[in-house]
Structure 1
Amino acid sequence: MTARGGSTDRSLERTDILEAVAFVVAINVVGGLPGIISSPDSAWFRDLEKPGFYPPEIAFPVVWTLLFTLMGVALWLIWRSSRTGRTLALGLFVAQMAVNVAWTPVFFGLGELFAGLVVIASLWVLVAATIVAFRAVDRRAAALLVPYLLWVTFAAVLNYELWRLNS
């Protein structure tokens, strides 16, 4: 970031934009990999009884792409910060991302609805903690994760209902 014309206004340089795009692409790739390995196209998942509020299948890739994009920008904001709390925020982000990535193989790969519920409950706690840690470093980054927490909340309810209806 540079100050232009001696003012205190800061503008993004081309390298900043490229770096932000790289973060967005990386998070989308990492987040999308489990879906390639374990997908909802399996016969057992198609045969599950689903609640009335189950969204159309197209909603999932659209929502996750948007959320991973927001997460990538949020992570980039924290990464480039020098504020106190940055290391904790980054560590929590990595932890929640690892749990996020674990959910798909547990739920779809193993077909374990209850174990998926345990994983997604853990994910919810980690995402909430990540938002708190991000807020201490950069409020914008924290705000970018709020839709993610809302979606994980919805997904947890959906996971619970799938488990309840099919147990």
Structure 2
Amino acid sequence: MNEKSRSPLIISILIPLAVGSLSSLLSRSMTTYSSINRPDFSPPSYVFPIVWTILYVLMGISSYIIYDSDSPAKGRALKIYMLQLFFNFCWSIIFFRFNLYLFALIWLVVLIALICLMIKEFYKISPLAAYLQIPYLLWCVFAALLNFFIYKMN
């Protein structure tokens, strides 16, 4: 793979990493994860940046596979990818910046539906690209469970 052909892959990985980083910066508020009431199964705060970095890299690789395909369906698949990335971006801000736990939960349910739709569309083009999104889906389902309990406890 030469440098020119690597550029789309690198950009594809950098996009979700940048979206996640910007969302994290914009979601900072006086309320921190450690200061809210959380269920016992809540992971420690240091786990989140590690997990999200891995998930964003997988998302980037997956989106690159779709981008690099010759499928006429890739435009639709990538639009859904960008839409779910927007929902992903907003969730942290809704949850942490504005402390709107119920609205964040509803937003996250929509995000999960978009991720399922994205996986379905990716699978039509590349099963591998779809499979790379499964950890993201599972993490968001876990996040929804956590979000629900945080809503109930706060």
Q: TM-score range by the shorter chain?
A: over 0.9
Q: Displacement of 1:44 after TM fit?
A: 6.1
2:32 corresponds to 1:78: no
**Counterpart Cα distance in 2 of 1:15 and 1:142:** 25
Q: Which residue of 1 aligns with 2:135?
A: 147
Q: Which residue of 1 aligns with 2:149?
A: 161
2:56 corresponds to 1:63: no
Residue 10 of structure 2, aligned match among 21, 24, 35: 21
Identity of aligned residues (%): 29
2:51 corresponds to 1:89: no
**Counterpart Cα distance in 2 of 1:145 and 1:78:** 12
TM-score (normalizing by structure 1): 0.87
Partner SS state of residue 137, structure 2: helix
- Per-residue CA deviations over 1:13-48 (Å, capped at 9, x if unaligned) read 443233212211122011221101113x63365432
Residue 104 of structure 2, aligned match among 95, 116, 119: 116
**Counterpart Cα distance in 1 of 2:99 and 2:51:** 22
Distance 1:44 1:62, change over 3 A: closer
Q: Which residue of 2 aligns with 1:8?
A: none
Q: Which residue of 2 aligns with 1:30?
A: 19
Q: Partner amino acid for 2:97?
A: G
Gaps of 5+ in 1: 1-11
**Counterpart Cα distance in 2 of 1:86 and 1:26:** 17
Distance 1:29 1:37, change over 3 A: same
Gaps of 5+ in 2: none
Q: Partner amino acid for 2:128?
A: R
- The range that moved more, 78-87 or 88-97, is 78-87
- The answer to whether the 8 A contact 2:66-2:125 is kept is yes
- Higher relative contact order by CA 8 Å / sep ≥ 6: 1 or 2? 2
- The answer to whether the 8 A contact 1:27-1:72 is kept is yes
Q: Displacement of 1:76 after TM fit?
A: 0.7
Q: Partner amino acid for 1:151?
A: W
How many residues are treated as equivalent by the alignment? 154
TM-score (normalizing by structure 2): 0.94
Partner SS state of residue 71, structure 2: coil
Q: Which residue of 2 aligns with 1:106?
A: 94
Q: Root-mean-square deviation (CA), in Å?
A: 1.4
Pair member with larger Rg: 1
- The answer to whether the 8 A contact 1:70-1:145 is kept is yes
- The answer to whether the 8 A contact 1:27-1:69 is kept is yes
**Counterpart Cα distance in 1 of 2:62 and 2:26:** 26
